[in-house]
Amino acid sequence: MANSSVRSITNDSFSQDLQAMQAFFGLEVTGVLTKETVEVMKAPRCGVSDISRYGHFYGKPKWRKRLITYRITRYTPDLTKSQVDATIARAFQLYSDVIPLDFKQVYTGTADIMILFKGGNHGDFYPFDGAGGVLAHANSPGQGQGGDTHFDDDETWTLTQRGVNLLLVAAHEFGHALGLDHSRDRRALMYPTYQYVNTHGYRLPDDDRRGVQALYGSRTPVPTTEPKPKPPPGPKPEPEPEEPTEKPDSDPQPNPRDEQCSRGLVFDAATSISGDLYFFKNGYYWRKSSAFQGIRFTKVGTKWPGISYVDAAFEVPHSNVVYLFEGQQYWGIRAYAKTILSGYPKPITNLGLPSSVSKVDAAVYVPTTRKTLIFVNNQYWSYDESRNQMDFGYPRYITWDFPGIGSKVDAAFENYGYLYFSDGARQSEYYLPHKRVMRVLLNYGWLNCY
């Protein structure tokens, strides 16, 4: 009789759980294992329970600090280490784009979120079940193992539609690591079964964005002191013609096109121009824009006759002007039309630099301070755009005021409130208000190389 009672309670509990799962997936609620229910249960999925009443985990756990560190302790052999690093960083960026958290990869010690790829038993109480079942799982935020994320290495991890797409699964699991539970919306990233979507230009779906912002709030861009100027009245300008690409038969500088996806890529200069990013190398530039797919590659002299190569560049958005440096002179470019202004080139001594400076290594305009930082060797100057003169007390050593970025800057630009300083192939993402390096990147990652 006791055995019968236990069996009855167990069967009732199983039936109730099954009904809850069927309701979650929008199936007919029967409490028995129908064919449709079994098919859903067999689908590749996340290892976090499918049955939940909340869009967030019970109690709404979340991180109580802004900077979250992560460390990958074991990699998959299916992809190169750099591919995994870039994909994991991109998955975290889907969230940092919409909430006021930042994520930084570390390589030693214990990070907030520990990540590994391993099949079967892998050090917790939830062993993986081989290819095609549970793909990965993650813990909710908290101390100790909170946020830790594990990927089943019996799966075939890819960056495409074949196998299992790492970006989509990683972004799903990091949703759990931030406090998101599964979603009933089939279009959501946090829907519990794996479904491939095109990852080119992928952004967090609305349902997931609303869920994570309910926990952490929205990321607000760093405000500028002046609104962008309104375009002058008149007819709309003609679409800008596609920039020609050139491969000259003879050139004093080697053509850097083949270096685009080299991990050792070093930029000569970088800047924004009217919302696009320009990266200069050996008399050419790569242009990255949200207005078109891919990266355009163009010779500097083809776009701006009279300029052979670019040592440094910066944009002053509220003035609609970009400045390009070559040796001991510089040009002003009208950002909207991308045409050279009259009266240029001018000597760099006009900016207050000493005549002993043979070239500028890098320059970047900071919208929040309205200062332009000009880097030469291991020092920098601060130029006040509102007063059109150098600030008193410069030059200063880079290491004094920008801890963590190194002692020289080859290229610098501003993007979404962060400064990016390149030293060789390495690049530091820097948050000036906190004087802190948020992430260390490689230059080539900006050029659609993963």
> Is residue 158 situated within a structural domain?
yes
320 in the Ramachandran plot: left (φ > 0), alpha (ψ -120 to 50) or beta? left
- Does residue 173 carry a catalytic annotation? yes
Same domain, 388 and 285: yes
The answer to whether the CB of 78 falls within 8 A of the CB of 197 is: no
Q: How far apart are CA 185 and CA 29, in angstroms?
A: 18
Same domain, 413 and 276: yes
> Is residue 388 situated within a structural domain?
yes
The answer to whether the CB of 316 falls within 8 A of the CB of 305 is: no
Same domain, 402 and 351: yes
Q: Domain range holding 260?
A: 256-447
Same domain, 270 and 124: no
Q: How far apart are CA 363 and CA 324, in angstroms?
A: 9
> Is residue 200 situated within a structural domain?
yes
Q: What is the pLDDT of residue 153?
A: 93
Same domain, 293 and 431: yes
> Is residue 60 situated within a structural domain?
no
Q: Which residue among the candidates 173, 259, 414, 429 is catalytic per the annotation?
A: 173
> Is residue 241 situated within a structural domain?
no
Q: How far apart are CA 60 and CA 178, in angstroms?
A: 10
Q: Give whole-number Cα distances, 151 to 88, 166, 186, 324, 333, in Å.
A: 12, 9, 22, 46, 49
> Is residue 53 situated within a structural domain?
no
Same domain, 172 and 270: no
Three-state secondary structure string covering 227-276: CCCCCCCCCCCCCCCCCCCCCCCCCCCCCHHHHCCCCCCCCCEEEEECCE
Same domain, 292 and 210: no
Same domain, 98 and 206: yes
Same domain, 280 and 181: no
Same domain, 173 and 260: no
**Paired tokens of 351:** 């900016």
> Is residue 84 situated within a structural domain?
yes
Query: What CATH number is given to the structural domain containing 381?
Result: 2.110.10.10
Same domain, 431 and 392: yes
The number of distinct structural domains making up the chain is 3
- In the chain, count of helices (H) and strands (E)? 7, 26
What is the chain's pLDDT, residue by residue, as a tens digit (450 residues)? 333 322 223 345 455 556 555 555 555 656 677 777 666 555 554 544 444 333 677 678 899 999 999 999 999 999 999 999 999 999 999 999 999 999 999 999 899 999 999 998 887 767 887 887 789 998 889 877 889 999 999 999 999 999 999 999 999 999 999 999 888 778 889 888 888 999 988 999 888 998 999 999 998 765 444 444 444 443 443 344 445 444 433 444 567 777 888 878 899 999 999 889 999 999 999 998 877 778 899 999 999 999 999 999 999 988 889 999 999 999 999 987 778 999 999 999 999 999 999 999 999 999 989 999 999 999 999 999 989 999 999 999 999 999 889 999 999 999 888 899 999 988 998 988 888 888 788 888 888 765
> Is residue 196 situated within a structural domain?
yes
Q: How far apart are CA 194 and CA 156, in angstroms?
A: 14
**Paired tokens of 384:** 């006040």
Query: What CATH number is given to the structural domain containing 150?
Result: 3.40.390.10
Same domain, 166 and 206: yes
